[in-house]
Every structure is written in C-alpha cells, then in structure tokens.
Amino acid sequence: MSHRDRRIVFATDCEGPAVRNDNALETASLTIPDGLRLFEQLSKFDDYTARVRHRPAYNIGDTLRLLAPFLKAYDVTDASLTDLIQQRRLAWIPDAKVNISNLRKERIPVFQITVSYRPFAKHVARLLGVRSEFVYCTPFALDKYTMSNPEVKRLKQIASVIADLPKIPELPPNDTRHMKLPKAFRDIEHLVWGEMAEHLPCSSKMLREIRTMGGQNKVNAVDDIAARTHVEPRYLFFLGDSITDVEVLEDVDRKGGVAISFNGDSHAVNAARYCCWGNSALVTGLLALIVKRQGGHSLRKFVESRGDRRTVAGDSSLINVYDTLSRKAWGVAHRDSVPLAERVGESKKYRMLNRGTLKGFKNP
C-alpha cells in the first residue's frame, strides 16, 4: 500500500497539545472572586468523584459542568465569555499551527476533541485551520437559564466556602479503589449534590443538562469520527494530555489505533501507548506523517530508536519536519520500552515549561 492509500485521521485535544491556556480556569479567575482557588478545588473534586466515588452518570472532566452555575451567578453570559476569549491572548504551544498545516498538506483530516467550552474551542480551531464541523467540545449556553436573586446570593456564599476549604490532594494515576475521601471532598459533595442539585432550581437544571466533552464522551466522539471517515482503527490517531483523555486513550489503543500523550500528566502518560514530550508540537504530527508515508512498522521503529533521524531517511518531507524539530528539545517513547517513571518525569518537566504559567495565574 502506498502512502497515498493510507487514510489517516488525526484527532487532538485543544488545551495542552495546541495552546497553553486553560480557558475555564482563566474565566473563573477573571470573573469570580478567588475564582482560581474555586476552580482548583472543583477540578480535584471532579477527579475524586469520577475515579474514587464513581458517581453514576458522572463524567471525568465535569469540572466545567460544576463551574457553570457559579459563572451564571457572577453574571457571565454567552456574549461576555466570547468577548473575554477574543480579548485575551492565546498562548500557543510552539509549532502548533505549523504542525496542523503539515498534516493538512498531506490531506490528513484533523479533528479537535476538547472539554473546553464551545466559544473557546471554536476560536482555537479557527486559528489552527480546523474545520468548525470537526470540533467536539462542551456546549456553552448560559443565557437560556434564569437564576433568581436568592439563588445568586447563595451560590456566591457556596463559592466562598469551597474556596476556603483545605486543598484537596491530587490523586495518583493508578489504583484508587482504596483511597480515603478527604473531608474537604465530602463537604463539597454535600454543597454540590446535596444543595445545588436538589434545592437550587437553576443550578439543579444546569447540572442535569450540561454535558461536558470529557471521559466517555470523548470516546463517543472518536467513535463518531471513525464512522464519519470510515478510517481503519490502526490509522486513527488520538492525542491527549490529561486525566480527561484517559478513557479515550485506552479505548483507541484497545481498538488498535495510535494513542499518544504529549507533555501529559501522569494519568495520560500511563494510558497512552506512545509518549511525546518537548518544546514543539511537531513531534506529534511527525508520528502521523511517518505512518502516512511509510506505514505503521516505521512508526514503531522510529519510536523505539528514540527518534533517530536515520529511521526516516529517504523521505525528504519527513526529513524536513525532523530537521525543524531537531532544533528544539523533544523526545518520544513507547510504553513497552521505557519505564513509566521516566516517561512521566520527562512529560511533567515539559508540561511545566509549556503550561506551568497557569500555576501562577492570579486574579487581575
């Protein structure tokens, strides 16, 4: 089979592989008093709810569902979020635009699957050159909900309480079956599911109706992409970087696809077959280009050689991408060849370099 006959499909997360921004975190920080702390608490609460509590009908990545009522209480509207996104500078991962351009030149369809709210996801996709109908994301339609003044007041109180609670610790990437639930988690659980979901009408409606694009919903999105494109599983690439990508990384790998983490957290690295790290997004697209032009056997050879240039010799297009990439710090590993601790260590180092500024994000 020639490279022209290989129908490759490339599906990627948005925040992490393309941009450094965390739009929900930034939005909370800019619109809610102590919003950064509130978001961080809800994010950890989300992890425990999905991976330890195993709450029915709960999806990893539902932080954005939990955050929505608080945004509504603090007067965030569909238009104001769009304005905020337009006003703020996007912090691009180096070579992210060039990477997508390289894939499109090879006629590789690029899809974006992200937990981000729709206005942000569509904004990034447009600037990347990803078609609007190829974007899967979390809907954002706060204007359709009506919240009473008493509920607004109570939600502001709840937001303050959650922010003031002790910090919820981070979960390990592996077995969490016997994890003890911290008191702060139980306190937030009572406020969210005991009060907001049961006794605050607008919040209850929002928590029932909003569906985030994370966890199992990302799996569903990839299944939809496969059906739309009729691609063979082995030629379907998915690129992720966080805990919200674990289920889809595992599912793509199980079905014979190419599951890649890029500057991933420990959860994503543990779930992916191929692990990439570095200061350039080009390494992720290079893997797809290798399969497109030379086949899956060449991908395994390239990765197991730790990215030796000689493994792409004879193809000027691949050499050009490789030589551009070689001027940056980067690496690639197969999970069967490199210990998890090494893969996690390298990924976390570059994750901090490329997304670490978010740790210091403060209210203006």
Structure confidence by residue, pLDDT tens digits, 204-256:
999 999 999 988 999 999 999 999 999 999 999 999 999 889 999 999 999 99
Strand order across the 9-12 sheet: 135-138, 110-117, 9-12, 236-240, 258-262, 274-278, 330-334
What average pLDDT does this structure show over 177-191? 90
pLDDT value for 51: 86
pLDDT value for 23: 93
- pLDDT above 70 covers a percentage of the chain that reads 95
What average pLDDT does this structure show over 255-272? 95
Q: How confident is the model at residue 4 (pLDDT cuts 50, 70, 90)?
A: low
Q: Quick: pLDDT tens for 57-98.
A: 898 889 999 999 999 999 999 999 999 999 888 999 999 999
pLDDT value for 172: 76
Q: Quick: pLDDT tens for 115-164.
A: 999 999 999 999 999 999 999 999 999 999 999 999 999 999 999 999 99
pLDDT value for 175: 64
Which token pair is 54? 């195993």
pLDDT value for 179: 78
Q: Are 277 and 346 in contact (CB under 8 A)?
A: yes
Q: How much is the mean pLDDT over the chain? A: 92
pLDDT value for 364: 36
What average pLDDT does this structure show over 331-337? 94
> Residue 363 pLDDT > 90, yes or no?
no
Q: SS3 for 191?
A: helix
pLDDT value for 358: 46
Q: How confident is the model at residue 354 (pLDDT cuts 50, 70, 90)?
A: confident
Cβ count within 10 A of residue 89 = 6
pLDDT value for 59: 87
**Residue ranges covered by each domain of the chain:** 3-21+92-138+214-360, 23-86+141-209
Cβ count within 10 A of residue 276 = 31
pLDDT value for 191: 98
- pLDDT above 90 covers a percentage of the chain that reads 82
pLDDT value for 180: 83
Superfamily of domain 23-86+141-209: AF1437-like domain superfamily (1.10.3870.10)
Instruction: Say which CATH architecture domain 3-21+92-138+214-360 belongs to.
Output: 3-Layer(aba) Sandwich (3.40)
pLDDT value for 362: 43
pLDDT value for 6: 80
